[in-house]
Amino acid sequence: MAEFSIIDTYFHRQTSASVDLGVGDDSALLTPPPQQQLVICADTLVAGRHFPLDTSPHAIGWKSVAVNLSDIAAMGAKPHSILLALSLPQIDHDWLKGFSQGLYDCCDQFGVSLIGGDTTQSPHLTISVTALGWIETGKAITRSGAQAGDYVCVSGTVGDAAFALHNLGHPLQKRLDYPTPRCQLGQKLKGLASSMIDVSDGLAQDLGHILKASKVGATLELNQLPISPDLQNLTQEQQWQYALAGGDDYELCFTISPQNYEKLLQQQLDVNISKIGQITQQTELTFVQNGVDHSLQFHGYQHFA
């Protein structure tokens, strides 16, 4: 079966009315809404590197979209569409069926259309997705706006996916295979959060990117870290290790002024928020337990380590 037949069979569904031209021509066409900026990002998943080789094709399809929608959410933006660049070692119809179903399930859940891509043969299974979204001009939440005195918050629970990677088959594996991009929360934080990042490489490292970009520091209260009940049998140090240095959480970490935090609490949110610390003037990340200094060294995921 040729490339075009793969595209027609698995990746050519009806798109939403907000897509002027989707899969099938040399490029897709979109009309930007007035006074909005295009928000665009890309993320690549390599088999054996970003997911275990025996991960179900449905989960791979879901996750390849979800990790990108998470980046769009981390800017406060509304996701709109994706492009898919797929490199396949061979044509495996069962795999393509499961993969495309997982990809469309994630797209459908978050109101996103697949509008184009590329399909090639390659020795390694590689999936690269580009996501597009929109945000009112000037409203994007970047990494550089944190101010001393802001609270540091994180959504959901952290460390589940890293724990699951070391305990394959555990019920928490759904958090590794089917991350939930925090699209609703991201958009609700527009106009409220001072900075934001999605947690993909470990909370400590990703918060570190905010601190560096904002030229500030932070104190985190270890007892406030949102850790799943499934991890409570581990030692406290192990729990913190997963929560702070584990990857693949796809939660949102953001900073917010105390006044805006009160406003946020009055909103209906589809995920829990934990206040885990505060931004400081001194440019370092410190940890406290019940207010007492507790020194910890963490390193998040390094792609070229």
Could you tell me which residues are annotated as the binding site for Mg(2+)?
Answer: 26, 43, 71, 118, 198, 201
Interface stretch with ligand ADP, choices 117-125, 126-134, 210-218, 294-302 (CB under 6 A): 117-125
Which listed residue (65, 84, 164, 210) binds ligand ADP by CB under 6 A? Answer: 84
- Half-sphere exposure at residue 256, Cβ-oriented, CA atoms within 13 angstroms: 26
Which listed residue (14, 26, 169, 268) binds Mg ion by CB under 5 A? Answer: 26
Interface stretch with ligand ADP, choices 34-42, 53-61, 116-124, 174-182 (CB under 6 A): 116-124
Which of ligand ADP, Mg ion, none does residue 7 bind (CB under 5 to 8 Å by kind)? Answer: ligand ADP
Single out the residue of 90, 7, 12, 92 nearest to residue 57, CA to CA.
92
Q: Using the rule CB under 5 A, is 54 a contact of Mg ion?
A: no
Q: Using the rule CB under 6 A, is 112 a contact of ligand ADP?
A: no
Angle between helices 93-109 and 57-73 (to 10 degrees): 30
Distance CA 95, CA 54 (A): 11
- Segment 236-295, which members bind ligand ADP (CB under 6 A)? none
Distance CA 110, CA 183 (A): 8
Q: Provide CB contacts within 8 A for 294, sequence distance 6+.
A: 222, 287, 288
Nearer to ligand ADP by Cβ, of 24 and 171: the residue is 24
Which listed residue (55, 64, 87, 119) binds ligand ADP by CB under 6 A? Answer: 119
Single out the residue of 193, 182, 177 nearest to residue 157, CA to CA.
182
Q: Which residue is nearest to Mg ion (CB)?
A: 26
Intra-chain end-to-end CA distance of the chain, in Å: 39
Number of other CB atoms surrounding residue 165 within 10 Å: 18
Q: Using the rule CB under 6 A, is 23 a contact of ligand ADP?
A: yes
Write out the residues near Mg ion by the rule CB under 5 A.
26
